[in-house]
Chains A and B, each alone.
Chain A
């Protein structure tokens, strides 16, 4: 009986695998720019757990933030005023596989440009100059990365560059990797670690949410954010780059930055542009 089921199932499984593999390939290898102008839509992968950059607004059931607004502005710039931006929720963990499989056209999700990532995907020009920093409880002994000695614990998010960054900057501390920023911040609040490390922009967002937690020590790494696009999509990449230059020039970018970071103490648009 079991054998018979197996005999029937195996070809089905093989067939499904073949079909799925075929689908993935054809979608990923299509020219995004042609496709986008035909459907009048660009599909962006954005974060939904990161205050100020991409955060789910539960009441409106919409993702809102700096990344989302930049993506909207770029879409309008590329496709004209009627162009539609579609948003797909990604995490640091899932964004690369989703892009490579062709589920999304581009990633604009607080993604740092690194040499390793450049081997896998292409990056646009920098759209936000971030830097690594630390978030701690108010009054904590930890004032900068130098205080992360043996016996301290630091939370980072899986798939981010901070696992490596912390190891380089503070080799003696223990690194805990958690799934997303919401969980990471909750774990910091429940005392699972002494500090949380990631890009300053994201940390400011958390600090605004809960004033008991503060960003300390300035930045200890440079984390330029870029828009990630699949390899072999040069026309789309160039279009995104020129659109980015346009919105930086015509003041749209400054307006968006002011909207999201205007309240952050010491924020200066010129430093991140």
Chain B
């Protein structure tokens, strides 16, 4: 088990780097996209809300692997050449954004309507009311489920293994097939994922506590 870690550290650390890079990029991307689509979903304009709704329902009901393969195999053939890492990261971003949109939407809708109405009645615009009154309160509700999404995102980044995106899972598969020690190889990979997700899990828990008392 430890030989696997030390003998293949080069491959594993490269893979780890790619996994972290993909996770960070997808995390930022999906938060931005997710919030955007959540705001669309609750928009007072019917057609904007419909677009948001359709996006979320379509994306979150398709397997991640299918979305990723579209970006890896179909887009390069007909639109623009993107490599496995980019395709995987884009796929993961889009997939996660749908779930984050739902989380954010639920959080905003949990804030009593009176807050928005009160803010509007004292003369704030819709966007001012949203960013200064509703959203700061919604954040506290959003944080715990958002933590779940982040952890899922890190683990889901293993989809890069299927698009040869050089991530941890990809390297783990290579190590497993060269050393033929399948069990230890995947165990090592699992441990390295834990090293990433456990601190993230604790960070989210910490934030949850802090924001609750604030």
Contacts and interface: CB of A to CB of B under 8 A. Distances in A.
A191 B77 contact: yes
Given A177-B164, A177-B170, A187 B72 contact: yes
A186 to B, nearest CB: 5
Contacts of B170: 177
B198 interface: no
Nearest to A96: B180
Interface string A155-199: 100111001100000000000111100010011011110000000
Contacts, number: 54
Interface residues of A, number: 25
Contact of A190 (B73, B180, B182): B73
B108 to A, nearest CB: 30
Contacts of B77: 189-191
Interface string B159-176: 001101000001001101
B74 interface: yes
A244 B83 CA distance: 45
B132 interface: no
B35 to A, nearest CB: 32
B81 interface: yes
Given A176-B84, A176-B164, A179-B162, A163 B174 contact: yes
Interface in A74-109: 92-93, 96-97
Contacts of A163: 174, 177-178
Contacts of B199: none
B76 interface: yes
B74 A177 contact: no
A120 interface: yes
Contacts of A96: 180, 182
A94 to B, nearest CB: 9
Given A117-B180, A120-B180, A177-B170, A190 B164 contact: no
Contacts of B76: 190-192
B164 A178 contact: yes
6 contacts: A93-B173, A155-B164, A160-B177, A187-B72, A187-B73, A187-B164
Interface of B: 72-74, 76-77, 81, 83-84, 161-162, 164, 170, 173-174, 176-178, 180, 182
Given A177-B174, A189-B77, 9 more contacts: A117-B180, A159-B173, A159-B176, A164-B178, A178-B164, A190-B72, A190-B73, A190-B76, A191-B76
Interface of A: 92-93, 96-97, 116-117, 119-120, 155, 158-160, 163-164, 176-179, 183, 186-187, 189-192
